[in-house]
Amino acid sequence: MDLKDLRYFLHLSGSLHFARSSRELHISPSGLTRSIQRLEQELDVALFERDNRTVTLTQAGLLLRDYSRQTLDELSRLKTSIQEQSGDLRGKLSLFCSVTASYSFLHDLLDRFRQSHPNIELQLHTGDSAEALQRVSDELDDVVIAALPPKLSDKLVFLPLARSELVCIGPVAASPVQQMIKQAGADGDIDWKRLPVVMPETGLTRARVEEWFARKQIKPLIYAQVSGHEAMVSMASLGCGIAIVPKVVLDNSPMRDKLQILPLMTELKPFVIGLCAIRRKLSNPLISAFWSVAESGSSSQEQSDYRPGAPRV
């Protein structure tokens, strides 16, 4: 059984999306299909059930997924243990974060990590931050930057790096939305039936905003549901509606001068942003090394806020 085929299979078992896996694995869709077919022929079973819209693992696929994880984890530990004896860690480390996080949190961390471990190859994937926890749970990436959810799975471990307020933003330039905001400022009231709101498709921001609207018994006028905070900032700057985003996204946006922070939803809980990984994978020397570098630079205040037994934001 070829180890490369196992790696391809394991990625696909997490994404359940041939196009996404082929893109992230840098292999053609036909090459990925042939790799899976080789495994199916060798085991004489179907590993996936496929139709025009969905891909799911068969029972045999679930068993092979567990075997692949164990085998590749053991191989990784063996290789890094051998390398540790020579004091030279090598291998690949897969990271995922939003575009904003890649330069607001990850840049300095990667700079310190590369100075300590120059021979570890870093594979960085960017996308919607709402996908981060699922990606690390599905083992598509080794470490992700994510916002701490109200309840974190026991199989995951979280290292806080910073906090970020959630802020409500609207356009500065003249537009119907800007006019409604201006009128509300004078009258002290918002007509939520007329003021459009740009919402995230999924994730913690959406959950907190929906909870706020439900608590106020407000049914908002949703203009659009968008993937990614960066796209929400862009739409708000164009006057499409107001949006609620982490302040760190606004601070690092090229659109920040075209937006204003509104005195709305100020009671929303801030985000705790940090690294997340599968707990058992911290025994992997590559992940452990990255975690140690992050811990050495993380603020003592944020770490104390997330001590065992402390309330989670």
Q: What CATH number is attached to the domain comprising 12?
A: 1.10.10.10
Residues 279 and 156 in one domain: yes
CA 161, distance to chain mean position in Å, is 14
Q: What is the dihedral of CA 26, 32, 36, 39, to 10 degrees?
A: -60
d(CA 117, CA 144): 19
Residues 81 and 140 in one domain: no
Residues 118 and 182 in one domain: no
Residues 48 and 79 in one domain: yes
Residue 299 has pLDDT above 80, yes or no: no
Last residue within a domain, chosen from 87, 102, 133: 87
Question: Is the distance from CB of 244 to CB of 209 less than 8 angstroms?
Answer: yes
Confidence label for 304 from pLDDT (cuts 50, 70 and 90): very low
In a domain, 258, yes or no: yes
Number of domains the chain is built from: 3
Strand-pairing partners, residue 146, are 274
More confident residue, 76 or 200: 200
d(CA 66, CA 75): 14
**pLDDT at 211 (0 to 100):** 95
**pLDDT at 308 (0 to 100):** 34
Residues 10 and 43 in one domain: yes
Last residue within a domain, chosen from 58, 87, 116: 87
Residue located via tokens 């022929």: 41
Residues 76 and 214 in one domain: no
In a domain, 267, yes or no: no
Full domain range(s) for residue 171 = 166-262
Confidence label for 301 from pLDDT (cuts 50, 70 and 90): very low
In a domain, 42, yes or no: yes
Residues 193 and 213 in one domain: yes
pLDDT in tens, 199-250: 999 999 999 999 999 999 999 999 999 999 999 999 999 999 999 999 999 9
d(CA 229, CA 128): 7
